[in-house]
């Protein structure tokens, strides 16, 4: 059996189910309790679970993320929301120097079972300080797991797995996916961290991507099919740990690769994946790896300019044609 709900509702279900399952799970963040989150994901949670487990915080990311790290080290399982992933640098020390490194620096004596939910992405006319994709910052830091789902089913299943994980997890949610309605399974389920998913099979080229760009990649693949090109779309879902086996399997079949992400192209995680493929799978490649990313600019407020700032299906299709030399 299945049901049709939005991505935001699916994420809310995951949080509610995990809080019902384990009374050590708590929620923290700005406007999480009384308001129920600016996107409505935790609406009603305060009444159901009480103010000891659903906590409105001051506008101080450094303060409440640091508090969550300490709570996690003492056996609590905090799920912290940064209202936008753009605010992560404010809590940089707590995330990058404390949460990420604590297990290693204590020789495994301390764990940090912390989830940081972080809405990301452009397209909502939120301008430069509320529209970034910063996955490269988190993926660069050893000790953090990084998840970026593209569907309601995967969002719910992966968030539940993240809450149960004993290491810190950065859970990136594209804001323009929240309203998308999809079928998800009824009842209890989880999706393992570190496993990619082939969203469309193909034989001519592999398109590797994640989050909202999966939708654009699938749209591009449909267009290319009309031109006789069969593109395989590989949704990483988890960025760290990277499902390298899935990449190897797909690239060994298609021998051509396009890596797509919304993040700024310079210093992007897409660039890291491209480099790794070029270094380790060189003999499998029939053409250089192509990369399609956001422009190296601050996200504009102007709707027309903002929409030109991140990849769409047309840019992905053109990169595929380039790698196929057609």
Cα–Cα distances (Å) from 14 to 118, 153, 289, in that order, read 15, 10, 37
Candidates 130, 140, 255, 312; catalytic one: 130
Whether 281 contacts 244, CB under 8 Å: no
Q: Which residues contact 245 (CB under 8 A, 6 or more apart)?
A: none
What is the Cα Rg of the chain in Å?
A: 20
Whether 234 contacts 247, CB under 8 Å: yes
User: 174 an active-site residue?
Assistant: no
Contacts 24+ apart (CB under 8 A), 100-106: 100/141, 100/142, 100/143, 100/144, 100/168, 101/142, 101/143, 102/69, 102/73, 102/143, 103/143, 103/167, 104/142, 104/143
Q: What are the residue numbers of the active site?
A: 130
């Amino acid at each position: 059996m299945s049901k049709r709900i939005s991505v935001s509702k699916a994420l809310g279900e995951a949080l509610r189910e995990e809080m019902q399952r384990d009374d050590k799970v708590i929620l923290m963040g700005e406007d999480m309790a009384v308001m129920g989150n600016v996107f409505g994901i935790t609406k009603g949670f305060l009444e159901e679970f009480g103010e000891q487990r659903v906590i409105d915080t001051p506008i101080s990311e450094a303060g409440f993320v640091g508090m969550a790290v300490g709570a996690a080290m003492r056996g609590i399982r905090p799920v912290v929301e940064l209202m936008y992933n753009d605010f992560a640098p404010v809590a940089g020390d707590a995330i990058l120097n404390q949460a990420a490194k604590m297990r290693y620096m204590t020789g495994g004596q301390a764990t940090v079972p912390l989830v940081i939910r972080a809405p990301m992405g452009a397209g909502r006319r939120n301008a430069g300080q509320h529209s970034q994709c910063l996955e490269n910052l988190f993926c660069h830091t050893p000790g953090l797991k990084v998840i970026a789902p593209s569907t309601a089913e995967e969002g719910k299943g992966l968030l539940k797995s993240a809450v149960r994980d004993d290491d810190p997890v950065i859970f990136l949610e594209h804001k323009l996916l929240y309203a998308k309605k999809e079928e998800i399974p009824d009842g209890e389920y989880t999706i393992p961290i570190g496993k990619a998913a082939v969203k469309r099979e193909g034989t001519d080229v592999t398109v590797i991507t994640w989050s909202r760009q999966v939708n654009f990649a699938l749209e591009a693949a449909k267009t290319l099919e009309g031109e006789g090109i069969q593109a395989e779309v590989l949704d990483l879902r988890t960025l760290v740990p990277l499902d390298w086996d899935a990449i190897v399997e797909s690239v060994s079949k298609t021998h051509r690769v396009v890596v797509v992400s919304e993040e700024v192209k310079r210093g992007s995680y897409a660039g890291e994946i491209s480099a790794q493929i070029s270094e380790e799978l060189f003999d499998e490649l029939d053409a250089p790896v192509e990369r399609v990313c956001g422009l190296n600019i601050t996200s504009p407020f102007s709707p027309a300019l903002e929409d030109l700032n991140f990849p769409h299906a047309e840019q992905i299709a053109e990169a595929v044609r380039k790698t196929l030399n057609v």
